[in-house]
Chains A and B, each alone.
Chain A
Amino acid sequence: MKFNLKVWRQKNAQAQGKLVDYTIENIIPDMSFLEMVDVLNDNLVRKGEDPIAFDHDCREGICGMCSMYISGRAHGPHHAATTCQLYMRSFKDGDTIYVEPFRAGAFPIIKDLVTDRSAFDRIIAKGGFVSVNTGQAQDANNLPVDKADAEKAMDAAACIGCGACVAACPNSAAMLFVSAKISQLALLPQGGPERNNRAINMVNQMDEEGFGNCTNIGACEAECPKEIKLTNIARMNREYLVASLINE
Chain B
Amino acid sequence: MSELNSKIPTGPLAEKWDNYKEHAKLVNPANKRKLEVIVVGTGLAGASAAASLAELGYSVKAFCFQDSPRRAHSIAAQGGINAAKNYKNDGDSVFRLFYDTIKGGDFRAREANVYRLADVSRNIIDQCVAQGVPFAREYGGLLDNRSFGGSQVSRTFYARGQTGQQLLLGAYGALERQIGLGNVKMYARHEMADVVTIDGKARGIVARNLITGELERYFGHAVILATGGYGNVFFLSTSAMGSNVTAAWKAHKKGAYFGNPCYTQIHPTCIPVTGDYQSKLTLMSESLRNDGRVWVPKSKEDAKAIREGKKTAADIKEDDRDYYLERKYPSFGNLCPRDIASRAAKEACDDGRGIVPSGLGVFLDFADAIKRLGVEVVKARYGELFPMYQNITNEDPLKTPMKIYPAVHYTMGGLWVDYELMTSVQGLYCLGEANFSDHGANRLGASALMQGLADGYFVIPYTIGNYLSSEIFTKAIPTDHPAFVEAEEAARERAEKLIGTKGKKTVDDFHKQLGKIMWEYCGMARTAEGLTHARKLIQDLRKEFWSNVNIPGTLNEFNPEFDKAGRVADFIELGELMVIDALDRNESCGGHFRLEYQDEGEAKRDDENYAYVSAWEHTSVEADPILHKEKLVYENIQLQVRSYK
A interface vs B, CB < 8 Å?
A: 11-12, 28, 30-32, 34-35, 38-39, 42, 44-46, 48-51, 53, 55-65, 78, 80-81, 85, 87, 89, 110-111, 114, 116-118, 120-121, 124-126, 128-141, 143-147, 150, 153-154, 157-158, 160-161, 184-185, 188, 190-191
Min distance, Cβ A190 to any Cβ of chain B, angstroms: 4
B172 nearest CB neighbor, chain A only:
A124
Cross-chain contact B241 with A132 (CB below 8 angstroms): no
CB < 8 Å neighbour of B67 from A42, A51, A118: A118
21 A-B contacts, Cβ less than 8 Å apart? A11-B557, A35-B277, A42-B508, A46-B550, A59-B241, A62-B76, A65-B71, A87-B392, A121-B186, A125-B177, A126-B180, A128-B173, A129-B131, A135-B123, A137-B123, A137-B127, A138-B130, A140-B125, A157-B159, A158-B162, A190-B129
Q: Which of B120-165 contact A (CB under 8 A)?
A: 123, 125-132, 134-143, 159-160, 162, 164-165
Cross-chain contact A116 with B67 (CB below 8 angstroms): yes
Of the candidates B73, B180, B283, the one having the most CB atoms from chain A within 10 angstroms of its own CB is B180
Min distance, Cβ A32 to any Cβ of chain B, angstroms: 8
Min distance, Cβ A140 to any Cβ of chain B, angstroms: 4
Min distance, Cβ B361 to any Cβ of chain A, angstroms: 15
Cross-chain contact B240 with A51 (CB below 8 angstroms): no
Instruction: With A130-B130, A138-B130, A145-B141 as known contacts, state yes or no: A50 contacts B125, CB within 8 Å.
Output: no
Of the candidates A64, A87, A157, the one having the most CB atoms from chain B within 10 angstroms of its own CB is A157
Cross-chain contact A134 with B55 (CB below 8 angstroms): yes
CB < 8 Å neighbour of A45 from B52, B85, B278, B561: B561
Cross-chain contact B131 with A48 (CB below 8 angstroms): no
Q: Is B60 an interface residue (CB 8 A)?
A: no
A120 nearest CB neighbor, chain B only:
B68
Cross-chain contact B129 with A48 (CB below 8 angstroms): no
A189 nearest CB neighbor, chain B only:
B132
With a CB–CB cut-off of 8 A, which chain A residues contact B76?
Answer: 58, 60, 62-63
Cross-chain contact A89 with B394 (CB below 8 angstroms): yes
A-B pair count, CB < 8 Å, reads 213
Q: Is B174 an interface residue (CB 8 A)?
A: yes
Cross-chain contact A134 with B391 (CB below 8 angstroms): no
Binary contact readout B254-290 vs A (1 if CB under 8 angstroms, 0 otherwise): 0000000000000000000011011110110000000
Cross-chain contact B277 with A38 (CB below 8 angstroms): yes
CB < 8 Å neighbour of B142 from A56, A89, A141: A141
Cross-chain contact A57 with B71 (CB below 8 angstroms): yes
Min distance, Cβ B510 to any Cβ of chain A, angstroms: 13
With a CB–CB cut-off of 8 A, which chain B residues contact A132?
Answer: 127, 130-131
Cross-chain contact A45 with B180 (CB below 8 angstroms): no
B210 nearest CB neighbor, chain A only:
A110
Cross-chain contact A185 with B392 (CB below 8 angstroms): no
Cross-chain contact B457 with A34 (CB below 8 angstroms): no
Cross-chain contact B130 with A150 (CB below 8 angstroms): no
Cross-chain contact B278 with A35 (CB below 8 angstroms): yes
Q: Which of B531-586 contact A (CB under 8 A)?
A: 550, 552-553, 557-558, 560-561
Of the candidates B51, B132, B172, B176, the one having the most CB atoms from chain A within 10 angstroms of its own CB is B132
B interface vs A, CB < 8 Å?
A: 48, 51-52, 55, 66-73, 75-76, 85, 87, 123, 125-132, 134-143, 159-160, 162, 164-166, 169, 172-174, 176-177, 179-180, 186, 188, 211, 240-242, 274-275, 277-280, 282-283, 384, 387-388, 391-392, 394, 457-458, 461, 506, 508, 550, 552-553, 557-558, 560-561
Cross-chain contact A30 with B241 (CB below 8 angstroms): no
Q: In the docked arrangement, what's the CA distance between A143 and B127, Å?
A: 12
With a CB–CB cut-off of 8 A, which chain A residues contact B173?
Answer: 124, 128-130
Cross-chain contact B75 with A125 (CB below 8 angstroms): no
Min distance, Cβ B536 to any Cβ of chain A, angstroms: 28
Q: In the docked arrangement, what's the CA distance between A59 and B71, Å?
A: 12
Min distance, Cβ B233 to any Cβ of chain A, angstroms: 17
A116 nearest CB neighbor, chain B only:
B67
CB < 8 Å neighbour of B143 from A62, A78, A141, A161: A141
With a CB–CB cut-off of 8 A, which chain A residues contact B138?
Answer: 147
A115 nearest CB neighbor, chain B only:
B67
Cross-chain contact A114 with B558 (CB below 8 angstroms): yes
Min distance, Cβ A7 to any Cβ of chain B, angstroms: 15
Min distance, Cβ A204 to any Cβ of chain B, angstroms: 13
Cross-chain contact B279 with A117 (CB below 8 angstroms): no
Q: In the docked arrangement, what's the CA distance between A46 and B550, Å?
A: 8
CB < 8 Å neighbour of A154 from B69, B72, B134: B134
CB < 8 Å neighbour of B75 from A53, A62, A145: A62
Instruction: With A59-B279, A121-B69, A184-B134 as known contacts, state yes or no: A133 contacts B176, CB within 8 Å.
Output: no
B73 nearest CB neighbor, chain A only:
A58
With a CB–CB cut-off of 8 A, which chain A residues contact B172?
Answer: 124
Cross-chain contact A63 with B561 (CB below 8 angstroms): no
With a CB–CB cut-off of 8 A, which chain B residues contact A78?
Answer: 391
Min distance, Cβ A197 to any Cβ of chain B, angstroms: 12
Min distance, Cβ B12 to any Cβ of chain A, angstroms: 24
Min distance, Cβ B141 to any Cβ of chain A, angstroms: 3
Instruction: With A85-B391, A144-B142, A146-B141 as known contacts, state yes or no: A65 contacts B67, CB within 8 Å.
Output: yes
Cross-chain contact B279 with A137 (CB below 8 angstroms): no
With a CB–CB cut-off of 8 A, which chain B residues contact A34?
Answer: 279
Cross-chain contact A45 with B552 (CB below 8 angstroms): yes
Instruction: With A63-B76, A65-B71, A129-B173 as known contacts, state yes or no: A153 contacts B134, CB within 8 Å.
Output: yes
Cross-chain contact A28 with B275 (CB below 8 angstroms): yes
With a CB–CB cut-off of 8 A, which chain A residues contact B388?
Answer: 60-61, 85
Instruction: With A110-B558, A124-B172, A138-B126 as known contacts, state yes or no: A117 contacts B142, CB within 8 Å.
Output: no
A129 nearest CB neighbor, chain B only:
B173
B166 nearest CB neighbor, chain A only:
A157
Q: In the docked arrangement, what's the CA distance between A65 and B141, Å?
A: 34
Further 15 A-B residue pairs, CB within 8 A, beyond A63-B240, A141-B143: A50-B553, A59-B279, A62-B162, A63-B66, A65-B71, A81-B391, A117-B67, A124-B176, A129-B131, A131-B177, A134-B457, A137-B123, A144-B140, A154-B160, A190-B131
Min distance, Cβ A229 to any Cβ of chain B, angstroms: 15
Q: In the docked arrangement, what's the CA distance between A184 and B169, Å?
A: 12
Cross-chain contact B68 with A117 (CB below 8 angstroms): yes
Q: In the docked arrangement, what's the CA distance between A64 and B162, Å?
A: 13
Cross-chain contact B68 with A118 (CB below 8 angstroms): yes
A67 nearest CB neighbor, chain B only:
B67
Of the candidates A28, A38, A121, A147, the one having the most CB atoms from chain B within 10 angstroms of its own CB is A121
With a CB–CB cut-off of 8 A, which chain B residues contact A191?
Answer: 132
With a CB–CB cut-off of 8 A, which chain A residues contact B51?
Answer: 134
A138 nearest CB neighbor, chain B only:
B126
Q: In the docked arrangement, what's the CA distance between A167 and B430, Å?
A: 38
Q: In the docked arrangement, what's the CA distance between A137 and B453, Å?
A: 15
Q: In the docked arrangement, what's the CA distance between A12 and B172, Å?
A: 29
Q: In the docked arrangement, what's the CA distance between A160 and B165, Å?
A: 8
Q: In the docked arrangement, what's the CA distance between A51 and B552, Å?
A: 8
CB < 8 Å neighbour of A137 from B130, B159, B274: B130
Q: In the docked arrangement, what's the CA distance between A56 and B560, Å?
A: 11
Min distance, Cβ A203 to any Cβ of chain B, angstroms: 15
Cross-chain contact B141 with A147 (CB below 8 angstroms): yes
Cross-chain contact B241 with A56 (CB below 8 angstroms): yes
Min distance, Cβ B413 to any Cβ of chain A, angstroms: 22
